[in-house]
Structure 1
Amino acid sequence: MARTPFLLLGLMTMTACSVGPDYRPKSAAELGVPDTWSVTAETEAEDLNRWWTRFDDPLLSQLVEQAARANLDIAQAIARLRQAREALVASRADLFPSLSGSAGYNRTEPVRGGGATVTLPDGTVTTTGGQGRDSFSAGLDASYQLDLFGEVRRSVEASRAQYEASGFDYATVLLSVQGEVARNYVLARAYQAQLDNARASLAIQDDNLEIAGFRVQAGLVSSVDQEQARASRAQSAANIPQIEQQYNAAVSRIAVLTGQAPGALKPALAEARPIPTGPQAVGIGIPADLLRRRPDIRAAERALAAATAQIGVSKAQLFPRLTISGSLDANSSDFNSLFDTITGGLFAGISQTIFNAGRLSAQVRSSRAAADGAFAAYRSAILTALEDTENASVALRAATQREALFAIAYDAALNSALLARSQYRSGLTDFTTLNTQEAALVSARNGLVQARADKAAALIALYAALGGGWDASVTPTAPPRDD
């Protein structure tokens, strides 16, 4: 018996061995991340945690922050994060022994007519009445599977990585919702500007139709001018219902994203405001910064770590398993003396799969294939992030250039339309020329609105591509338990 503690100590020491590969994060160079961007960009990284405040629009900030609290997609992501946390807790429990206790009480009563038959000294035979008997019992059972080859520890490692991946998945959903709220807010303001343009154009068309009517009555022009004016006016009016429908869709989408009914935000957004404008340039840092700032990349990296740990779980099943169990029992007919005598036992068992038609080896190969797939998904997420950033950066530059050019076009078209309208009233030009100049003005005005909206949308897309909107210095965790 003196050898038993040393034997158990030796077996416990063996549990330090874990089969399967040890995960090591790869560097940016190993992942093929370039040192610089292929487009000209400001490489000094900025703090983008609350990027929406840079648009200097209090209502936009309010809506983005409300969505972070009330959006139902975010609520689902938090629920999945909580599930992952409890899966980690359950996985850790396998590192410890399981302990169970039992207690019992039993009373035996004699059957009716029972009792003992006794012959007295005088030869008389009599039957004594039976008496009931009490019995008490208590037991304690323990079992522990020694993690000789690291199956449990690898399982905990995989669960921890999956929990962290769920945290980054939550951050990814959060960033997506923030960007979607801001994008639809820009759309709503752009549609308001387009409605103003359409109504202003309609007022001009009404004026032109009136002028054409006077000139027809005066015999200065034929009724063709009046019919052209009427057609132009109807076409301008026809644009208004379509823009109103698009505006309504954008406002409804913002309401749903903030956890409200589709029409809840119509009063708050009813007053037309300018399209929000942000900074002219954004410091996007270097490509390697995306490995830290983009939560979808970090989620993919954690998924790779979990898949790598799972190889060890599968591989450990090829080796023997050692289980130690023990029990303590006490029995007595008197509760006060129940623990006077305690018996116990200690047992150890080892098991090894001898034949399973290659099932366990196939599981190892399957886990390796899953890790290869996770690595490919990780690299794909990196390439997609690089693509998103460069595309958004180019789109922002292009929209800025287009805005400047449309501003020039709008100024020229406005002057040309005013001149043509004056000349038409004076009879110095025909209605076709006036109509052409009015159409050019509408086109330039709407083009300027669209360029400004595109610029704001490209800026939002760039913030999202850079992973802005969360604190990248910490791993998101589940909220405290409510029970």
Structure 2
Amino acid sequence: MRKSGAGARGVGAALSLLALSACATAGPDYHPPEQSAATMPGATGAFHSAQGAPFTQADLPDRWWRLYADPQLDTLIEQALAANTDLRQAEANLTLAQGVLREAEAGRKISTTISGGETLARPSGVTQHLPGAVSYDLGLAAAYPLDLNGRIRRAIEGSAADVEASAAARDYVRVSVAAATARAYAQVCAANYNLTINRQVVALQRDTADATRRLARGGRGTAFDVSRAQAAVDSSAAALPAFEAERQNGLYLLATLMGRAPADYPRAVESCAALPTLAQPIPVGDGTALIRRRPDIRQAERAIAGDTARLGVAMAALYPQVSIGGSVGLSGPLKDFGSGSAFGFSLGPLISWSFPNRPVVKAQIAQAEARIQGDLAGFDGTVLEALRQTETALERYRRDTEQAAALDRARDSAKLSAGQAGKLFRFGRGDFLSLLDAQRSLANAEVAAAAARAQLVQDQIALFMALGGGWRQE
């Protein structure tokens, strides 16, 4: 520690350097990309496939699952959003990013260092056993970064963008968890719904088989007729275990999404037999609303902002890093501890500069610029993929709606035909083969219509997920 009579001169030099620098900030200020996939005319208007009665141009509500007006579904999704393990991990990643931001913000504050030491020295060449001289050194140093080139400011901007990107990633997990929970619930209900339809088919075919046995005993039928009727029963009954397995798998998935062991699945859902039903057309909005709503698009945009700020950090290394530093302390022989001659202080600018390593710094700048170009391409790709997913989901739902309506009509026709064939056979005006054929057509039509209705619910949930709803907090 040294006494300094030049402290005032050091302060003056620092103030002069501060004035000359004019507080310039290295690197470009971030602005959202003006020329990108998000600004193309075809990306911001109405969706090409959102045509017809199934859709409306209204904005999608955040909690889209409430459109089903199903309290049990509402409860399941809220519980999943509170306990899902993927969502807990995303929350931890967000907390981590917030900690990094606080660390970057701390770079603006005064840093202090306390030091102390004691030494025992004895002149070399002394042969006598002298005790030597004891000296000490105690000090307190402080430094305040001036951040003349904005290195700290850019680092804070980059960390703040990372926090927002982590929040967007968390929100996307919320979207996925809500959709996966609704899909698992619909899977359970659809399995029970299909079980009901298929059991009705089996019951009808079993009635026919019983009637065939009675007719055979009365001489109006053959053993061949009986065996064919029983084969139809057995064939339809063989499909039932698959639906039971589908139901159980959906229950296990629900438990996992809710952060539970599979065996602890929600028992109340086990008996769900009615498909979730929308009482209104699906509100889809337009491309502008989609781009604004989708969390993955926001995450990609925040990545550009963060790497733009880190370009400024790299560019700041081309210039000196200046801080104001000062220190006070006591040093000298231990016998003079506390005397006025032991006291010393210093005050002045502290400058560090990696001038000889400019090629390294320029290489780091080039890397940062390339990273930004990659982010821009990734942002465009994310926007285009979001639009493609939405258009695909819209088109699939629209076409599956038409298919379900056609299959409903086919089922009604098959039911009428089977009824007519049954009457003709009972009155002896129709043959048994025609009856079996009509009932087989009815069974196929019933199963196909039920499967189409169940698929419509899955299409709806896929569309809601593509639209990006389900992450906003009230």
Q: Is the Cα–Cα contact under 8 Å of residues 144 and 325 in structure 1 kept in the other structure?
A: yes
1:11 maps to 17
Partner of residue 47 from structure 2, selected from 37, 42, 46:
37
* SS of equivalent residue, structure 1 residue 270: helix
CA RMSD of aligned residues (A): 3.1
Matched, 1:23 2:30: yes
How many Å separate the matches in 1 of 2:134 and 2:9?
Answer: 41
Deviation at 1:441, TM superposition (A): 1.7
How many Å separate the matches in 2 of 1:321 and 1:425?
Answer: 100
Matched, 1:427 2:434: no
How many Å separate the matches in 1 of 2:84 and 2:307?
Answer: 31
Deviation at 1:393, TM superposition (A): 2.2
Deviations 1:77-104 (A, max 9, x none): 0000000000111111222231122467
Partner of residue 352 from structure 1, selected from 339, 342, 354:
354
Deviation at 1:382, TM superposition (A): 0.9
How many Å separate the matches in 1 of 2:405 and 2:418?
Answer: 20
* Alpha-carbon distance change, 172 to 219 in structure 1, aligned in 2, over 3 angstroms: same
How many Å separate the matches in 2 of 1:313 and 1:277?
Answer: 54
Q: What amino acid maps onto 1:67 in structure 2?
A: A
How many Å separate the matches in 1 of 2:56 and 2:266?
Answer: 40
Q: Is the Cα–Cα contact under 8 Å of residues 43 and 286 in structure 1 kept in the other structure?
A: no
Q: Is the Cα–Cα contact under 8 Å of residues 136 and 338 in structure 1 kept in the other structure?
A: no
Deviations 1:193-248 (A, max 9, x none): 11112222222222222222233333333322122122212211211111111111
* Alpha-carbon distance change, 212 to 306 in structure 1, aligned in 2, over 3 angstroms: same
1:256 maps to 256
How many Å separate the matches in 2 of 1:144 and 1:252?
Answer: 58
382-391 or 180-189, which deviates more: 382-391
Q: Is the Cα–Cα contact under 8 Å of residues 48 and 463 in structure 1 kept in the other structure?
A: no
* Alpha-carbon distance change, 30 to 208 in structure 1, aligned in 2, over 3 angstroms: closer
For structure 2, which runs of at least 5 residues remain unmatched after alignment? 1-5, 122-127
How many equivalent pairs are there?
A: 453
1:477 maps to none
Q: Is the Cα–Cα contact under 8 Å of residues 211 and 425 in structure 1 kept in the other structure?
A: no
Q: What amino acid maps onto 2:46 in structure 1?
A: T
Structure 1 length normalisation: TM-score?
0.84
Deviations 1:21-44 (A, max 9, x none): 221013578732343322345674
1:81 maps to 94
How many Å separate the matches in 2 of 1:289 and 1:266?
Answer: 35
1:414 maps to 415
Deviations 1:360-401 (A, max 9, x none): 322221111111111111111111121222222223322332
1:149 maps to 149
1:99 maps to 112
1:170 maps to 170
How many Å separate the matches in 2 of 1:450 and 1:39?
Answer: 23
For structure 1, which runs of at least 5 residues remain unmatched after alignment? 109-113, 117-129, 475-483
Q: Is the Cα–Cα contact under 8 Å of residues 197 and 442 in structure 1 kept in the other structure?
A: no
Matched, 1:200 2:200: yes
How many Å separate the matches in 2 of 1:6 and 1:422?
Answer: 111
* SS of equivalent residue, structure 2 residue 141: strand
Deviation at 1:50, TM superposition (A): 1.4
Deviation at 1:57, TM superposition (A): 0.8
Q: Is the Cα–Cα contact under 8 Å of residues 385 and 465 in structure 1 kept in the other structure?
A: yes
1:269 maps to 269
Deviation at 1:462, TM superposition (A): 2.4
How many Å separate the matches in 1 of 2:330 and 2:74?
Answer: 68
* Alpha-carbon distance change, 293 to 335 in structure 1, aligned in 2, over 3 angstroms: farther
* Alpha-carbon distance change, 353 to 436 in structure 1, aligned in 2, over 3 angstroms: farther
2:230 maps to 230
Bigger helix fraction: 2
Q: Is the Cα–Cα contact under 8 Å of residues 112 and 140 in structure 2 kept in the other structure?
A: yes
* Alpha-carbon distance change, 463 to 11 in structure 1, aligned in 2, over 3 angstroms: farther
1:66 maps to 79
How many Å separate the matches in 2 of 1:279 and 1:8?
Answer: 71
1:184 maps to 184
Q: What amino acid maps onto 1:260 in structure 2?
A: R
* SS of equivalent residue, structure 1 residue 389: helix
Deviation at 1:56, TM superposition (A): 1.0
